[in-house]
Structure 1
Amino acid sequence: MNEDTLITLALGLLRGPGSNARAILGLAGPPGAGKSTLARYLVAEVERREGPGSAAYLPLDGFHLSAAQLERLGLAHRKGAPATFDAHGYVALLRRVAADRFQPIYVPDFDRRLDEPVAARHVVLPQARLVVTEGNYLAAAEHPWPDARRLMRELWYVDADDSLREERLVERHRAGGRDEATARQWVTGNDHPNGEYVKAGRSLCTRTVPGTGLPQTPDGRSVL
């Protein structure tokens, strides 16, 4: 399945029954699979075909708890695990995206250079017909993730070879300031168990798609 096929599938969400409603496409998958790269690519390509503002990006990573909250909860060593996200806040914003077609909706992101969430980096404009949201835990069985899935038209599982994911993650952590040994230790002790947890939800997804070969910057963003 190549990028052209994925674009066709995404555009298909804007056609047919229910096409007047705003479609939310979810991308789930383990860390380093290429979710954010694919999401940004699909948004850019839909906008190129359907017009500026016709698609928008909503990353779960914007709902990371801050370093201050992780310290308060004693979870700094597990950053990226399910408990280190404001999952209910994410679902609340997704509900607003599904229901509100009249106001701009501002969306937080995670800044890998700051290693902190940042407010209002993205925006869902009123004319947006497709919103692509991505994150590790969108296919998780525990509450409140099923509430999020009910708001999505489709949920795709983004798959990539474990060895490729590991190298992407090591590069990402090194770009964030960790040395090689510390980066690999973090991948083994934290990213790996998170990824194994994510894999359990694969059967809940609409389809499986490959982590794309689109070029990435060291922080994991796509180069479009």
Structure 2
Amino acid sequence: MGIAELARDAWALVERAEGAGQRRAILGLAGPPGAGKSTLAAALVSRIEAEHGAGSAGYLPLDGFHLSNAQLDRLGLASRKGSEPSFDVWGYVALLRRVMAEPERDLYVPDYDRELHEPVAARHRVAPTARLVVTEGNYLACAEPGWPAARELMAEVWYVDAPAEVRDARLIRRQLAGGRDAAGARAWVDTNDRPNGEQVERSRSACARIIPHVGMDMTNPPA
């Protein structure tokens, strides 16, 4: 299925929400590291804005709720950055609640900066015109504390997947781009990204649909 069909199905969530008296809907994209969640989210937002007007969709990445390096050091989680407990899940839930409860306001959304290796505030904005908000992150469908509360605010959660070898290659490239050498990149993927992905894979059955493979170029996505 291409981006046009996925955008159509995403917009149907807005129409369903409006029929229930809500001004907007949230679509969640879950999936293991390297599956292509952020690529698909960006493509959906771009396509929906092209069809329904600038500002009709917003982007809210879970990665903005990474704990800072200082907090990870305090908690002994520096070597498990990106794992489920390394996120501020309740801060994420609070912003999702505001997305649904305050549609008349500009809402500012944090992101993760891969050059600084830290979360940064207010990189994105959900405008009052946004009728669909696309949020993406590894753990959106997981059952650990906090995540079900986030899930309840989403109209649907879709699971974004990719073959293990594709995800592995993407993750190695990500670590190399972030400054690790080849051995360090391999070690990080094997000891951190892979177990995180295995945890996420257990949440697959909790998602409304499976998106089997997202190419890195969503202007001409695979069918």
Same-fold status (TM-score > 0.5): yes
The runs of at least 4 aligned residues of structure 1 exceeding 6 Å deviation read none
TM-score (norm 2): 0.94
Partner of 2:163: 161
Q: Distance in 2 between matches of 1:210 and 1:201?
A: 15
Partner of 1:127: 129
- Does the Cα contact within 8 Å between 2:3 and 2:47 map onto a contact in 1? no
Partner of 1:222: none
Q: Secondary structure at the match of 2:14?
A: coil
Q: Distance in 2 between matches of 1:21 and 1:210?
A: 30
TM-score (norm 1): 0.93
Counterparts in 2 of 1:2-151, with a 5 A limit?
Answer: 2-16=2-16, 17-18=19-20, 20-151=22-153
Residue 170 of structure 1: which of 166, 172, 182 is its match?
Answer: 172
User: What is the CA-CA distance between 1:210 and the residue it aligns to?
Assistant: 2.5
- Does the Cα contact within 8 Å between 1:24 and 1:151 map onto a contact in 2? yes
User: What is the CA-CA distance between 1:184 and the residue it aligns to?
Assistant: 0.9
Q: Secondary structure at the match of 2:134?
A: strand
User: What is the CA-CA distance between 1:19 and the residue it aligns to?
Assistant: 7.0
User: What is the CA-CA distance between 1:8 and the residue it aligns to?
Assistant: 1.6
CA RMSD of superposed structures (Å): 1.2
Q: Distance in 1 between matches of 2:147 and 2:71?
A: 21
Q: Distance in 2 between matches of 1:18 and 1:116?
A: 39
Percentage of pairs with the same residue: 61
User: What is the CA-CA distance between 1:215 and the residue it aligns to?
Assistant: 2.7
Q: Mind listing any 5+ residue stretches in structure 1 that lack a counterpart?
A: 217-224
Q: Distance in 2 between matches of 1:20 and 1:50?
A: 18
**How many residue pairs are counted as aligned between the two chains?**
216
